[in-house]
Amino acid sequence: MSARDRRLAAVRVLAHLHRMLESAEAGLTIPQYRMLAVLSEGGERSARVAQKLAVRKPTLTALADGLIAAGYAERESEPGDRRIVRLTLTDAGRAALARADEAYLARLAPVLAELREPDRLVGDLIEVGEVLAARVRARVAAESAAESRR
């Protein structure tokens, strides 16, 4: 199998894993889960959350509105500058995130149990996550530099 075919097979496995997680009884959609995970790291301005999630601001606003309506997140004004609004996780949001974490782990566990080296896959996925996070940080820095030049 060529390198291209192996990479294509990997993409298809990732799509299958996504669907498998999507079908878990997590109480959250994957986009909601991703947003709550970002918010669990600390309150963020909406624009920064959109950058981290790689979504457009209107998409983020719709997602945030749903999480706020469910009581999982809230908008808070920045002290000293009411124009700046931060999204923060509520206690209910932390509980929903914890339930979803457990549901997704339970869905993934049987697959990991059948692998010869499950820790290798987990480590590789964490490394991919670090690469993706670094790419987001670089893009945010470039966008900030471009804005400051304007």
CATH number for 3-107 (one of 3.10.105.10, 1.10.10.350, 2.70.70.10, 1.10.10.10): it is 1.10.10.10
The proportion of the chain whose per-residue pLDDT surpasses 70, expressed as a percent, equals: 99
Distance between CA 8 and CA 141 in Å, rounded? 31
Query: Which has the closest alpha carbon to 73: 31, 29, 40?
Result: 40
pTM: 0.85
pLDDT tens digits, one per residue of 11-53? 999 999 999 999 999 999 999 999 999 999 987 888 888 888 8
Sequence ranges of the domains in the chain: 3-107, 115-150
**Statement: residue 80 has pLDDT above 80:** no
Which tokens belong to 85?
A: 């609004």
The predicted pLDDT at position 141 comes to 83
